[in-house]
């Protein structure tokens, strides 16, 4: 977006502090337009009757609109002008989206009939967001597969603790394979690239429900691919692999005793894992949707809008679920724990 402001009065840094945040709000609402076709012209002047006057003129490929703001202070004048302009822009975009739905008019004989209209999002003046490709999915999985697998394991563990499934009935690898296959399927509808991560979490949640439904429908049958789980110590040759790193005649050196302050100690890791397990136990009494929203927001770092995509719920419902789960955690742990306090404080920003 091309921006040009004219200061008829003395220019000062204070008024620019008020203009820049408003420009960012306006840019977010202009993402549908090509930036090189959008221009904003503004004037800042003093008004002897009111105080300050701010005039705005926005030129778009589909039209032009103007807004004015008069107030005793510079901040109020800037805010008034931009609010008026954003309100006009919202109505203008609604008209562009619904123009192809307008009723046709009857024209007299000899007058040319209008050509069929298309939605503005399909015109050359609109920005077409990139959709997710197979390469995008592969790149994300190569970098974030452990994180997705950790979330799937946590979901399966929660369902096993609640008695919904037996321990080991559904493997995390099976869920992830199902989600990746669905994501790479050319027949599935793919979202925009910026929503790739919550979309994959959404597919993983659907895969869990789909596999559980299949297991419920096939109750009593044992699949041929089901094999007993072998632990690392029971695996053949486990002692040989361990001997490669732990020799009985090793000598402890001074370098081996120097700790890395950037890494957590085993005691800290164990304490955090224990606290995470206690929080999961506290959330067993909460509703499944409340627990899911709280974990996705506090532990996985998703925003409320991304959680609404993952859980297929409204943003207001997600915020209410986070608040309800926060009350469960606070009541379950009246004491002061660093991890618990961080999660509770972070959940208040939802």
How far is the CA of 260 from the CAs of 264, 267, 273, 286, in angstroms? 8, 14, 20, 39
Identify which of 29-38, 124-133, 183-192, 275-284 has the greatest average pLDDT. 29-38
**Backbone dihedral region of 96: left (phi > 0), alpha (psi from -120 to 50 degrees) or beta?**
alpha
Please check whether the domain covering 2-99 is classified as CATH 3.40.1410.10: no
How far is the CA of 38 from the CAs of 26, 215, 294, 350, in angstroms? 11, 55, 40, 33
The answer on pLDDT for 125 being more than 70 is: no
CATH for the 267-347 domain, from 3.30.390, 3.20.19, 1.10.10, 1.10.287 = 1.10.10
C-alpha–C-alpha distance, residues 328 and 335, integer Å: 14
Identify which of 29-43, 110-124, 186-200, 216-230 has the greatest average pLDDT. 29-43
Beta bridge partners of 41: 4, 57
pLDDT digits (tens, 9 = 90+) for 236-259: 555 555 555 555 666 666 655 566
The pLDDT-based confidence of 112 (bands split at 50, 70, 90) is low
Give all strands of the β-sheet with 51-60 in edge-to-edge order. Answer: 2-7, 39-47, 51-60, 63-71
Closest CA to 91 of 116, 60, 69: 60
The pLDDT-based confidence of 111 (bands split at 50, 70, 90) is low
CB distance 324 to 290 below 8 Å: yes
pLDDT digits (tens, 9 = 90+) for 159-208: 888 777 877 788 889 899 888 888 888 777 777 665 788 888 888 888 88
Residues 6 or more apart whose CB falls under 8 angstroms from that of 14 comprise 74
How far is the CA of 233 from the CAs of 239, 241, 262, in angstroms? 8, 10, 30
* Between 49 and 314, the higher pLDDT residue: 314
For the residues 149-153, what does the mean pLDDT come to? 88
For the residues 28-50, what does the mean pLDDT come to? 82
Q: What's the confidence (pLDDT) of residue 208? A: 87
* Between 68 and 215, the higher pLDDT residue: 68
The pLDDT-based confidence of 321 (bands split at 50, 70, 90) is very high
The answer on pLDDT for 210 being more than 80 is: yes
For the residues 21-47, what does the mean pLDDT come to? 84
C-alpha–C-alpha distance, residues 304 and 317, integer Å: 9
Measure the CA angle with vertex 275, ends 269 and 277; round to 5°: 105
pLDDT digits (tens, 9 = 90+) for 295-307: 888 888 888 888 8
Q: What's the confidence (pLDDT) of residue 317? A: 92
Residues 6 or more apart whose CB falls under 8 angstroms from that of 278 comprise 332, 333
Per cent of the chain over pLDDT 90 is: 2
Per cent of the chain over pLDDT 70 is: 68
Q: What's the confidence (pLDDT) of residue 117? A: 59
Domain boundaries, the chain: 2-99, 134-217, 267-347
Q: What's the confidence (pLDDT) of residue 344? A: 76
Q: What's the confidence (pLDDT) of residue 227? A: 47
C-alpha–C-alpha distance, residues 310 and 304, integer Å: 10
The answer on pLDDT for 58 being more than 60 is: yes
């Amino acid at each position: 977006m091309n921006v040009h402001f004219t200061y008829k009065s003395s220019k000062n840094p204070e008024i620019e502090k008020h203009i820049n945040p408003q420009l960012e709000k306006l840019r977010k609402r202009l993402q549908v337009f090509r930036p090189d076709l959008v221009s904003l012209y503004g004037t800042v002047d003093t008004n002897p009757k009111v105080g300050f006057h701010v005039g705005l003129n926005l030129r778009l490929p589909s039209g032009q609109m103007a807004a004015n703001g008069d107030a005793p202070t510079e901040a109020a004048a800037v805010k008034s002008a931009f609010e008026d302009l954003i309100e006009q822009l919202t109505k203008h975009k609604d008209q562009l989206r619904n123009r192809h739905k307008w009723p046709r008019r009857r024209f007299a004989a000899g007058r040319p009939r209008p050509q069929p209209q298309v939605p503005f999002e399909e015109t050359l003046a609109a920005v077409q967001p990139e959709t997710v490709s197979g390469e995008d999915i592969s790149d994300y999985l190569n970098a974030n597969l452990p994180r997705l697998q950790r979330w799937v394991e946590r979901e399966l563990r929660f369902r096993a603790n609640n008695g919904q499934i037996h321990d080991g009935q559904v493997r995390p690898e099976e869920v992830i394979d199902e989600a990746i296959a669905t994501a790479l399927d050319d027949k599935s509808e793919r979202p925009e690239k910026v929503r790739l991560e919550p979309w994959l979490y959404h597919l993983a949640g659907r895969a869990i429900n789909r596999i559980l439904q299949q297991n419920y429908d096939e109750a009593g049958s044992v699949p041929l691919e089901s094999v007993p789980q072998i632990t690392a110590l029971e695996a053949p040759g486990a002692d040989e692999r361990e001997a490669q790193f732990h020799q009985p005649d090793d000598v402890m050196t001074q370098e081996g005793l120097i700790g890395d302050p950037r890494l957590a100690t085993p005691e800290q890791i164990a304490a955090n894992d224990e606290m995470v397990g206690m929080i999961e136990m506290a959330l067993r009494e909460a509703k499944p949707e409340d627990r899911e929203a709280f974990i996705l927001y506090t532990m996985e770092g998703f925003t409320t809008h991304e959680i609404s995509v993952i859980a297929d719920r409204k943003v207001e419902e997600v915020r209410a679920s986070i608040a309800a789960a926060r009350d469960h955690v606070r009541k379950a742990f009246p004491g002061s724990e660093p991890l618990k306090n961080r999660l509770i404080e972070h959940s208040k920003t939802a």
